[in-house]
Structure 1
């Protein structure tokens, strides 16, 4: 079902709020916000939501974005908190290790005048291994076929739709899948072919095939009905095992 939007909204200029949830990202927050400076230069806002970092992340972000705020820890909690104070008509949720393409604003302006309620970008992994291109291709095809997006794809949504759906469900994992499952009942996603680039460090640290199989295992268990809390525990255990190996 297509979402109806006020006819005059197509005449309004694009006003974007980019919401970046962070936790212990002192090493990367500077580069992330430098990459987003062109958005601010174009009149859009960047909001950093810190989940209680103890490494100075919030201090390092101050002055390089429009607002730094504190919230409870958890990506869904943080993104909802950012959305509550955002001023933009379109909300863009961006992971700290994901980079937008140079064409992002033009793509989002096309989305603005479309009849879609939400959308996402294709994704590319930053590493140079040929296998990463294959992985990204399958991620993008899966998303196109299912209408489900993950956070690595820089999900964006019209603010009235986000508010009507009461935002992200505040669960410890799969909040992006859960929200896009509800969003696709409103409309199919607006798909941007120019990819965002997501850091491949997780894939390199854990191993490509291990990461593929593990993430599919998590998603299968989620669709089977396992609780997000159980899946989050499995995810954290996998992270610990990788760091200790």
Structure 2
């Protein structure tokens, strides 16, 4: 028996990236699957692009966690797959999800960073190893979860940063994540714009403070103070930091 996938994509002013993602995603899905795009009041062509390529286009207040929860609540599939608009995927990822066993499972994919910087393979490998050791998945890794399990734990916590880490902590109480090998390609534009070593150090600092109990709202302000690139993206209102 195959899993029916509901792919949930939160967006805010992501028209160019969504235009690249949706046709590729559609080619790799089956007729029984669905693509749900949840818009957080975009001011560009995001909605019109989504209407051309998605099965459902929903609207709610911006905030990545809020948008993903909203999409999950209206999903029909038995397996939820959360993607970012800049996700790089191949047919291997949907195929790997197709025949997962039934039950309250969850997990993520390995990743590699897009680009030719010599440190990118090391960073990607470290992200994959860290995720296996800690049982923590991040949004860039294409988190998937049984829909009933997701609803049972209450979905993504409504916090402005590291909501994926918080969800992982909740899901770990129900079992270890499945760490699937097909690698998703992570957009590395922020690493390149702000400096690879600077980004690594910033993320270590934020994660350490988060595990020490710092307020996610304060960490969100620190991240965008140090990474202020002027983008109006979902991360600014409810998002994730790279890695």
TM norm. shorter chain > 0.5: yes
Larger Rg: 1
Aligned twin of 2:186: 198
* Counterparts of residues 114-125 of structure 1 (less than 5 Å): 117-125=105-113
Question: 2:29–2:94: 8 Å Cα contact kept in structure 1?
Answer: no
1:105-162 CA distance string (max 9 Å, x none): 221134x216661010001111122210010000000000000011000000001100
User: Relative to 1, partners in 2 of residues 1:185 and 1:219: Cα closer, same or farther, differing over 3 Å?
Assistant: same
- Per the alignment, residue 43 of structure 2 pairs with 54
Secondary structure at the residue paired with 1:193?
strand
TM-score (norm 1): 0.90
SS in structure 1 at match of 2:200: helix
**Normalized against structure 2, the TM-score is what?**
0.91
Query: Which structure 1 residue ranges, 4+ long, deviate > 2 Å from structure 2?
Result: 39-43
Match of 1:131 in 2: 119
CA deviation vs aligned residue, 1:165-215 (integer Å, no higher than 9, x gap): 010111111100000011111110111111111111111111111111111
Corresponding residue to 1:73 among 62, 69, 72: 62
Q: In structure 1, what is the equivalent of residue 26 of structure 2?
A: 37
Q: 1:143 to 1:114 in 2, by over 3 A?
A: farther
Kindly report the root-mean-square deviation, in angstroms, between the aligned alpha carbons of the 2 structures. Answer: 1.6
Secondary structure, aligned partner of 1:99: coil
Q: Does 1:166 align with 2:154?
A: yes
In structure 1, C-alpha distance between the alignment counterparts of 2:230 and 2:64, rounded to whole Å: 21
1: CA distance, partners of 2:104 / 2:118: 34
Give the structure 2 partner of residue 149 of structure 1.
137
Distance in structure 1 (CA, Å) of the matches to 2:111 and 2:102 = 21
Selected match of 2:163 from 170, 175, 179? 175
2:237 matched residue in structure 1: none
Q: Which runs of 5+ in 2 are unaligned?
A: 232-243
How many angstroms does 1:17 deviate by?
0.3
Supply the distance in 1 between the matched residues of 2:118 and 2:21 (Cα, whole angstroms). Answer: 25
Looking at structure 2, the residues matched to 134 and 55 of structure 1 have their Cα atoms a distance apart, in angstroms, of 36
Residues 104, 149 of structure 2: 8 Å contact kept? no
SS at match of 1:120: strand
RCO greater where, 1 or 2, for CA within 8 Å and sep 6 or more? Answer: 2
Between 1:198-207 and 1:115-124, the stretch displaced more is 115-124
Q: Secondary structure at the match of 1:81?
A: helix
Per the alignment, residue 4 of structure 1 pairs with none
Equivalences for residues 96-111 of structure 1 within 5 A:
96-110=85-99
The total of aligned residue pairs comes to 231
Aligned twin of 1:17: 6
Residues in 2 aligned to 1:68 and 1:139: alpha-carbon distance in whole angstroms: 32
Write the distance in 2 (CA, Å) between the matches of 1:134 and 1:189.
22
Secondary structure of 2:174's partner? Answer: coil
Could you tell me which runs of 5 or more consecutive residues in structure 1 were left unpaired when the two chains were aligned.
1-11
